Amino acid sequence: MEEIKLFCPATIANLSCGFDVLGLCLDNVGDEMIIRKTSEKGIKITKIVGADLPLETEKNVAGVVALAMISNLNLDFGFEIEIYKKIKAGSGIGSSAASSAGAVFGINELLGRPFSTKDLIPFAMEGEKLASGSAHADNVAPALLGGFVLVRSYSPLDIIKIKSPEELYATVIHPQIELKTSDARSVLKQNVTLKQAVIQCGNLGGLISGLYTNDYDLIGRSLNDEIVEPLRSVLIPKFDLVKQKAIENGALGGGISGSGPSIFALSKGKETAEKVAKAMSQVYEEMNLKYEIHVSKVNSDGIKIL
């Protein structure tokens, strides 16, 4: 194989009670990427369509992860990468992660799969380090593995794919405001109380259990974040109202997607997820704030070869 075309999915990280340890993969929201073998050694980003992002290999997450991956392989050829961006950078649905995951996945395929998909995660995390300063895995792991993914531990890296119910749909609304990841990080506190930790552990356990047992009510009851959401939600226009409207219209629960400003809701069934989308959109319609909205099934496979 000389060339590969990929769908690189958007992802929702954190998922309320799973701050920095949980993420899920979306099905119909994502970028496309073409990777091609070249006789010239090294990595070249030759084209970016749909976003103003750096073409320099060392400044683009796709380039950085590709370099990390091939550095020890002693190849006598290289790769060129074309990125067709649909996920806006800084939206909170894993724009950089889609490119990082796509680059390592595609190169691995072109090389005849020397690495397992799980082994690709640490390379993809190098892209997150470039994008946000921290090598987190809660977007790249679900983009690569699909479904819900739990990062049980970062040291050593221990990543677990979680089964998810068939009828679970996500609605994600992206208000068109700029919220820098660094600002969203700067409002966080470094300490939590024992009471907060106990509540968060209960909810995270409940969410995981609900996913395995198809218990939609338990999933909904568990989608609460005692620690980060109260601090971050003030940075997102009408967050409380958008979430309230989602729940009133049948969503199981919701919260901030990644570090925001996108807001997500989970629902049972597509019809409910679309009703929820309408209700969430209406809040921003009424205040004349531009937004993008997505309704997506959980993508259990991750990156797709097109």
* Minimum CB distance to ligand ADP smaller for 99 or for 222: 99
Single-letter amino acid, residue 271: E
Q: Where are the alpha helices (DSSP H) in the chain?
A: 61-70, 95-110, 117-132, 140-145, 181-186, 194-213, 216-222, 229-232, 239-248, 270-286
Minimum CB separation of residue 143 from ligand ADP in Å reads: 11
Minimum CB separation of residue 151 from ligand ADP in Å reads: 15
* Minimum CB distance to ligand ADP smaller for 126 or for 275: 126
Q: Which residues bind ligand ADP (CB under 6 A)?
A: 53, 60-62, 83, 89-96, 99, 131-132, 181, 258-259
Report the residue closest to ligand ADP, judged by CB: 96
Residue 181: active-site member? yes
What's the CA gap between 199 and 268, in Å, rounded? 24
* Minimum CB distance to ligand ADP smaller for 219 or for 242: 242
Q: 3-state class of 116 per DSSP?
A: coil
Minimum CB separation of residue 9 from ligand ADP in Å reads: 12
What's the CA gap between 120 and 216, in Å, rounded? 32
Quote the DSSP letter at residue 265.
Answer: E
Residue 157 corresponds to which tokens in the numbers above?
Answer: 């890296």
42-49 and 78-84 beta bridge pairing: parallel
Residue 274: active-site member? no
Q: Which of 80, 82, 167, 181 is catalytic?
A: 181
Residue 46 corresponds to which tokens in the numbers above?
Answer: 């030759």
Residue 15 corresponds to which tokens in the numbers above?
Answer: 């998922």
Minimum CB separation of residue 34 from ligand ADP in Å reads: 13
What's the CA gap between 35 and 156, in Å, rounded? 31
Q: Which of 128, 171, 226, 229 is catalytic?
A: 128
* Minimum CB distance to ligand ADP smaller for 106 or for 206: 106
Minimum CB separation of residue 270 from ligand ADP in Å reads: 24
Contact predicate 33/82, CB 8 Å:
yes
Contact predicate 258/14, CB 8 Å:
yes
* Minimum CB distance to ligand ADP smaller for 126 or for 226: 126
Q: 3-state class of 1 per DSSP?
A: coil
Catalytic positions, please? 128, 181
